[in-house]
A and B are shown apart, each in its own frame.
Chain A
Amino acid sequence: MTRQWIRWMPAAAMPAVIAAAVLAGPLQASSTVDLPHRTPQQVLALMAGNTVHQLSGTVQESARLGLPQLPDLGPGSPGQRASLGPGASSGATAGGTSAAARNPLKAATITRLLGFLTGPHTVRVYLDGAGRQRVQVLDKLAERDLIHNGTTVWTYNSATNKATETTLPGPGMRNPRLHNAKMHNPKLHNPKLPRALAPGAFEQTPSALAAELVKGLDPTTQLSLGPNTKVAKRGAYELQLIPRTTKTLIGKVTIAVDAATGLPLRVTVTARGQDSAAVDIGFSTLDLAAPPASTFMFTPPPGTSVTRRTVPAPKLHPHAVGPRAHARTHAAPKVDTSGTGWAAITEAPAGTVPSDLTAAPAVARLLQPVPGGHALSTALFTVLITPGGALYAGAVPLAALEQAAAAR
């Protein structure tokens, strides 16, 4: 009888051992991290003064916005291209920076963005100074690459086997204002880089997102420090940004700032009333040594269809990032803002939204018909498209947008 019992012991012990091992991880992470005491303002200054020029790291991105998880809507998704029609795809892929800036509300741009917002992604980032970057979006059985080396920017998509080479203007033609800004404030994202080349990935590094989030810091935000954390095995301060207004959908934003360098390591955005983060972008591994030079060399493999183009002159466009700002950035041409701070509503006049957008199958799946038109409701932001093609967006409930639309 006893022997029977003993023989089942391993079967009972193994799950216990595994459970203990699994639970030990978070316990270790939550153990206190000893860092010199700083005030929130000092951490902000530390973050603003970060001088990281070289790194290689892996960024994990996850978004739980309450959207249906779409099949990957990256630029390489062939079904996507077909379903949106020729007019829709031209803006984002062939038109480059100018087209994307002029009319960013092309369906392909939106759906590509949504692809990033609805699924988890792993992105490897390599950085060596301002002029050399490589971003690898690790898809399932495929990869999208962006290689920026000096005046040449390559994109490569292994799923479609297509590459694009873009030649940027030489250093002599650089906009001096831009150049200076970059020197003084070297961030992971390069303002000179055409945004159409970097489908979301580039802007969604924790650093770029964090820089964007603290840009508009004003008294409408309660700034505090959470308990110190560890991100990618580095001790970090955790800045907490809590909106003072209750009119916004955003409940809390946290930014983990590397204690040693001031580099933002992780950004989370939590919806009001939720416990777990709706958007979580952070480094899982980080190495501050210079990546090997070969990382930034690229030759398209044989059999790749290559598109080449040249960008005439650098041009500064607003780089608002993050759920709060996506719609605003893309509506850049003739936008109007009502409300302030976190509850701001961006309004774009009638005709901004092309009529083919709401008809595109991928977009139609996300939109829900409401009395005032079509709405996209997520945990963190809401977009309302009126039948006339006007667009209202903000990190506010749908009712607030409908109110704003009715007031017009």
Chain B
Amino acid sequence: MSGESSPEGHGGGWNAPGEEPPAAAPYSAVAHGREGSAPGPVAGLPSGRPGALPDGRPAGAPTARARARTWPFLASELSVMFRRRRTWAMLAALAAVPVLIAVAVRVTGAGSGGEGPAFLDRITHNGLFVVLTALVLCTPLFLPLTVGVVSGDTLAGEAGLGTLRYLLAAPAGRARLLLVKYVGTAVFCAAATSAVLLAGTVAGLALFPSGPVPLLSGDLVDVWTAEGRIVLVGAYVFVSLLGLAAVGLFISTLTDVPVGAMAATVVLAIAAQVLDALPQLDWLHPWLFSHWWLGFADLLRQPVEWTSFGNNAVLQLGYVLVFGALAYGRFATKDVLS
């Protein structure tokens, strides 16, 4: 953090918003390094990165023009993220969870009632329960793990590779960079949830019979209603991850070591769940971002119990606001030296 006595124009001062950025050439060179495993020469990079104008013309910062560039900026961020092998490896690992469950149950037969994770014993009767079993397994551990990796990497990763100052060299503004990074993480949250949902639905319907689905209340609903409920559950899980993504973004502004930020985020996710399991701390439970994670079962009751969806959404919004503001405070006052 920049001390109160830190003179302007030194250190962090040179890349303050509105000042003339360096020429495009160094940006491209470093950006190439940043791509890492991404194929293709510099020319293949998205040219939407502010400041990377082809003619090297310093991009001015009138608000309208800057706003117009947010979407290309986000598109560039997403294309960088989804061209990384790591992203696809994580999505594949998540998709493998329901597939493994489906294959294991298909090969060994269902366990007796009430054993194993929730919904496991229902799979042989109805393939759609593969998705729900997978979400019960993924929500406490695998999904937070991948979100921790992505959100912890957002700024610390750029800083670690030395590309952060070039991103800031553009007149994009630090707030907008934060926003783009957060939206990128949120898109990954959606992709991760969808991976589990899609793989689970496909594997479940391919290996097991489908038909009317019994809800938790014992009422039967047809397949399409059930699929609608499952999409709602997916939306619930997606919303559940947004708070953790904001926490990860904040931790990522604290350090230049991406692995540290990732680990800290994942450890926080685990610690929150451990605290949530201690009855002595029940006054704290409603404030833990993981408190409502498994509440998606309330969407599988008849009639739907919306309370937990609402509570979860409000809680996650609170985390996004608080940790988003903290991340802004930290990042906007930070000396970016790498």
Contact = CB atoms under 8 A, between A and B. Distances in A.
Contacts of B297: 140-142
B152 to A, nearest CB: 19
Interface in B111-138: 113-115, 118-119, 121-122, 124-125, 136
A389 to B, nearest CB: 32
Contact of B326 (A11, A159, A162, A301): A11
B325 A142 contact: no
Given A159-B114, A301-B218, A10 B298 contact: no
B325 A14 contact: yes
B318 interface: yes
Interface string A35-63: 00000000000000000000000100000
Contacts of A69: 279
Contacts of B322: 11, 14-15, 18
A14 B250 CA distance: 14
A13 interface: yes
B4 A1 contact: yes
Interface of A is mostly: mixed
Interface string A56-90: 00100000000001000000101000000000000
Interface stretch (B67-75, B161-169, B265-273, B327-335): B327-335
Interface residues of A, number: 41
A191 to B, nearest CB: 26
Interface in B64-85: none
A160 B114 contact: yes
A275 to B, nearest CB: 14
Contacts of A161: 113-114, 121-122
A24 to B, nearest CB: 14
A140 B328 contact: no
Interface in A282-329: 284, 298-305
B220 to A, nearest CB: 6
Nearest to B124: A303
B218 A7 contact: no
A142 B216 contact: yes
B220 A301 contact: yes
B217 interface: yes
A291 to B, nearest CB: 9
Contacts of B325: 10-11, 13-14
A163 interface: yes
Contact of A143 (B114, B216, B329): B216
B222 interface: no
B121 A18 contact: no
A180 B132 CA distance: 48
Nearest to B295: A140
Interface string A10-24: 110111011000000
Contacts of A237: none
A4 B307 CA distance: 40
B225 interface: no
A159 B119 CA distance: 8
Interface string A274-285: 000000000010
A7 B327 CA distance: 10
A143 B333 contact: no
A156 interface: yes
B338 interface: no
B305 interface: yes
Interface in B214-268: 214, 216-220
Contact of A145 (B4, B119, B217, B305): B217
21 contacts: A10-B324, A11-B325, A14-B324, A15-B322, A78-B114, A78-B115, A142-B118, A142-B297, A143-B216, A143-B218, A158-B214, A158-B216, A158-B218, A159-B114, A160-B113, A161-B113, A301-B214, A302-B125, A302-B214, A303-B122, A304-B218
